[in-house]
């Protein structure tokens, strides 16, 4: 075996001699042995470090044995301690011993989740072989023997469900069908732009779109699902608010320069926590399960699915690190899928910053989940697989070797690594906002000669993308403003677009003077902007992926434009699905609930209105 920086490995099954020779000839990172079932990439220590004396080896063996026992004792102690705490909490709740009555259900849900996770881990590790030989293998044989019949069942059932969802939405709110028309137009556009329309493999395409609909339905149409994600969103927002204690300690509790001293520190805090979760193995488990669902449903390779799942939580240059050893041997279609996934999603740390700006947490989280399978579907429609993938027999990844010695080191490294991200966000915002105003001044200067002194980039985008916004389900009077946001996000930066959107949301909630969108338009815009698909991201992706696979830089540059188009369409299609399914039942009442864009008048109007109501009441 050969060394590799990433420490990522894979397992493969049923590989022939020719497969091994082809795979080994393409890269120095992989080593394949014919007749074995494991294809692995691991990190090894240097030769100097690997040479140890027999005495030190003996000490390490003894330390390993007693260390494992000590670990079991510590885990058992804390498990017993939590069990005692849980019983005491239930008893105090039942007998009302506390002065303040707290809802104990979140604690019960947390305990059930922990116990279920432990049981699942124990069963799979203790009885994994028995389950594989006694249940999984016979089931696979049965499905293989009867696949001609079963494939029609598994193919038609999901789409019958999607059809029912669409019919129910049409009955509840017929006007939502405009969003369905927009979604169909985008699919037709992607098919026309496809590199090989006649060779499209429809399983990943239709499977990805089906997952998109089902994810949206669970959250936007099912009350329990909405309440669950709403609770998660509120908890996530509360969790992010703790970053203010750190920023207040460093910068002071000032509200001036809110973005620099309140929003950007959230990125550092979130990066710190994510790195800790990676060290503990939590992120790998979550990403791996999501990737397994997409691989089984869509039929994509494990590497593609893993990268797409990783994009839900990390950014467009961090997620490909999970599959770094395989970038050099990927087909053009697989590379395209990796790039589209990066353009179509946002990093968790950046998502946290948007939430702190006042954008709805539940819809940002929903958009992040929906975009992952949709990106794979869009990519396979735009750039179908035309060759033979060398990764199609790779089934699962092996746990990555951790570069940190303990969780404290992981936390410190996560905080330090966020410095470059914060600097990148701040630098890009300074540059692009300045460019926007500079460009607007040029347009205004030229526009003044043709009686258009207020001509600006936003106005041009509002007219250019207004039909598209209307097809997504936005009311016509809001379409110009949402189109402006889409243009800013695409040609400049999604941070600037979300900053403008958060201002509109604040105007509606707090009844401030300025432009106000309907809640429906705000929601659709939130989904449409949730992605890194803008021109500046092309350079970011080429730089990140090119450094991981220098031999594929030319291919990456060739695929960049179509991948960007795929990312843009993914965000717009997710917005269309949200527009199709969203209803008014979950909208929080505010002082102003309008379905059009309005300019709130000054305080005298509200004072006069109050006087009228008071006189009427008298």
Nearest to 340 by CA among 301, 371, 294, 296: 371
When pLDDT is cut at 50, 70 and 90, the band that residue 588 belongs to is low
CA angle 171, 598, 610 (to 5 degrees): 100
Q: pLDDT class for 35, splitting at 50, 70, 90?
A: very low
pLDDT-above-70 percentage for the chain: 81
Do 588 and 510 form a contact (C-beta atoms < 8 A)? no
* CA 275 – CA 273 distance, rounded (Å): 5
First-to-last CA distance in the chain?
Answer: 87
Mean pLDDT of the chain: 78
Structural domain spans, the chain:
1-44
Per-residue pLDDT at 378: 95
Please give the C-alpha separations between residue 167 and each of 160, 178, 219, in angstroms, as whole numbers: 11, 13, 17
Q: Using CA atoms, how far apart are residues 222 and 219, in angstroms rounded to an integer? A: 6
- pLDDT tens for 447-487 read 998 888 888 888 888 888 999 999 999 999 999 999 999 99
Main-chain dihedrals φ then ψ at residue 575, nearest 5 degrees: -65, -40
Confidence of residue 45 (pLDDT cuts 50, 70, 90): very low
Q: pLDDT value at position 568? A: 94
105-114, 242-251, 383-392, 517-526 — which is least confidently predicted? 383-392
pLDDT at 59 (0 to 100): 55
Residues ≥6 apart with Cβ < 8 Å to 280: 407
Supply the pLDDT for residue 607: 40
- Band of residue 616 on the pLDDT scale cut at 50, 70, 90: very low
Q: Which tokens sit at 159? A: 């789409």
Decide if 299 contacts 449 (C-beta within 8 A): no
Helix boundaries (H) for 449-552: 457-464, 466-471, 476-491, 494-510, 519-528, 535-548
594 confidence band (pLDDT: 50, 70, 90): very low
Q: Classify 35 in phi/psi space as left (phi over 0), alpha (psi -120 to 50) or beta.
A: left
pLDDT value of position 10: 43
Instruction: Give yes or no for a contact between 458 and 515, defined as CB atoms under 8 angstroms apart.
Output: no
> pLDDT-derived band of residue 598, with 50, 70 and 90 as boundaries?
very low
More confident residue, 60 or 433: 433
CA–CA dist 218, 578 (Å, integer): 12
Partners of residue 9 on adjacent β-strands: 398
Q: Is the pLDDT of residue 122 over 90?
A: no
User: How confident is the model over 218-238, as a mean pLDDT?
Assistant: 82
Query: Which has the higher per-residue pLDDT, 340 or 604?
Result: 340
Q: How many residues does the chain have?
A: 618
pLDDT value of position 57: 58
For residues 60 and 325, which has the higher predicted lDDT (pLDDT)?
325
* pLDDT tens-place string over residues 192-208: 999 988 889 888 898 89
pTM of the model: 0.75
Containing 39, the helix (H) or strand (E) segment is none
pLDDT digits over 416-431, tens only?
A: 888 887 887 788 778 8
Residue 496: pLDDT band (50, 70, 90) is: confident
Mean per-residue pLDDT, 215-233: 83
CA-wise closest residue to 365 among 70, 574, 118, 519: 574
Q: Mean pLDDT, to the nearest integer, of 285-297?
A: 81
pLDDT at 586: 52
pLDDT at 50 over 60: no
pLDDT at 23 over 80: no
Where residue 612 falls among pLDDT bands split at 50, 70, 90? very low
Q: What is the pLDDT of residue 118?
A: 84
187 vs 218: CA distance, rounded Å: 23
Question: Picking from 251-260, 331-340, 404-413, which range would have the lowest pLDDT averaged per residue?
Answer: 251-260
Residue scoring higher pLDDT (283 or 517): 517
**Angstrom distance (rounded) from CA 565 to CA 556:** 14
Q: Return d(Cα 560, Cα 264) in angstroms, integer.
A: 29
């Amino acid at each position: 075996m050969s060394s590799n920086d990433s420490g990522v490995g894979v397992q493969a099954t049923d590989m022939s001699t020719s497969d091994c020779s082809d795979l080994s000839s393409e890269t120095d990172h992989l080593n394949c042995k014919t007749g074995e079932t494991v294809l692995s990439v691991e990190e090894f220590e240097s030769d100097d470090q690997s040479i140890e004396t027999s005495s030190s080896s003996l000490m390490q063996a003894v330390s390993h044995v007693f260390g494992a026992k000590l670990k079991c004792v510590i885990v058992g102690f804390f498990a017993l301690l939590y069990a005692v705490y849980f019983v005491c909490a239930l008893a105090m709740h039942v007998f009302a011993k506390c002065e303040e009555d707290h809802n104990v259900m979140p604690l019960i849900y947390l305990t059930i989740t922990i116990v279920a996770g432990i049981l699942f881990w124990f069963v799979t590790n203790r009885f994994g072989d028995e389950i594989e030989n006694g249940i999984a293998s016979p089931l696979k044989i049965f499905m293989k023997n009867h696949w001609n019949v079963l494939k029609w069942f598994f193919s038609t059932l999901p789409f019958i469900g999607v059809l029912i969802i669409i019919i129910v939405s049409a009955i509840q709110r017929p006007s939502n069908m405009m969003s369905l028309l927009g979604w169909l137009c985008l699919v037709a556009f992607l098919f026309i732009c496809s590199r090989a329309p006649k060779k499209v493999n429809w399983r990943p395409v239709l499977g990805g779109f089906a997952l998109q609909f089902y994810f949206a339905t669970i959250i936007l149409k099912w009350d329990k699902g909405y309440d669950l994600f709403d609770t998660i969103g509120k908890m996530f927002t509360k969790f992010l608010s703790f970053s203010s204690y750190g920023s207040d300690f460093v910068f002071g509790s000032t509200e001036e320069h809110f973005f620099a001293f309140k929003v950007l520190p959230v990125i550092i805090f979130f990066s710190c926590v994510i790195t800790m979760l990676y060290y503990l193995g939590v992120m790998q488990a979550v990403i791996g399960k999501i990737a397994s669902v997409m691989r089984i449903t869509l039929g994509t390779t494990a590497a593609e699915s893993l990268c797409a799942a990783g994009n839900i939580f990390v950014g467009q240059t961090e997620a490909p690190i999970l599959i770094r050893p395989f970038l050099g041997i990927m087909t053009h279609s697989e590379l395209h899928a990796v790039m589209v996934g990066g353009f179509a999603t946002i990093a968790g740390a950046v998502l946290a910053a948007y939430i702190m700006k006042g954008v709805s947490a539940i819809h940002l989280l929903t958009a992040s989940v929906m975009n992952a399978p949709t990106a794979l579907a869009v990519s396979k429609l735009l750039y179908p697989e035309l060759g033979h993938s060398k990764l199609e027999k790779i089934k699962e990844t092996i746990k990555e070797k951790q570069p940190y010695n303990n969780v404290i080191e992981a936390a410190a490294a996560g905080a330090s690594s966020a410095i470059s991200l914060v600097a990148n966000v701040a630098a890009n915002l300074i540059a692009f906002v300045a460019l926007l105003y500079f460009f607007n001044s040029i347009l205004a200067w030229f526009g003044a000669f043709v009686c258009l002194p207020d001509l600006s980039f936003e106005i041009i985008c509002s007219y250019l993308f207004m039909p598209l916004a209307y097809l997504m389900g936005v009311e016509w009077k809001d379409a110009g403003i949402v189109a402006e946001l889409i243009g800013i996000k695409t040609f400049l930066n999604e941070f600037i677009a979300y900053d403008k959107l958060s201002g509109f949301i604040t105007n509606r909630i707090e009844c401030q003077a300025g432009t106000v969108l309907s809640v429906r338009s705000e929601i659709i815009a939130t989904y449409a902007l949730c992605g890194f698909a803008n021109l500046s991201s092309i350079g970011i992706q080429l730089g990140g992926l090119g450094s991981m696979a220098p031999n594929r830089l030319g291919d990456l540059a060739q695929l960049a434009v179509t991948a960007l188009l795929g990312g843009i369409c993914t965000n717009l299609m997710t917005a269309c699905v949200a527009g199709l399914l969203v209803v008014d039942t979950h909208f929080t009442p505010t002082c102003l609930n309008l379905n059009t864009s309005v300019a709130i008048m000054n305080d005298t109007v509200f004072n006069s209105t109050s006087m009228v109501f008071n006189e009427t009441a008298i």
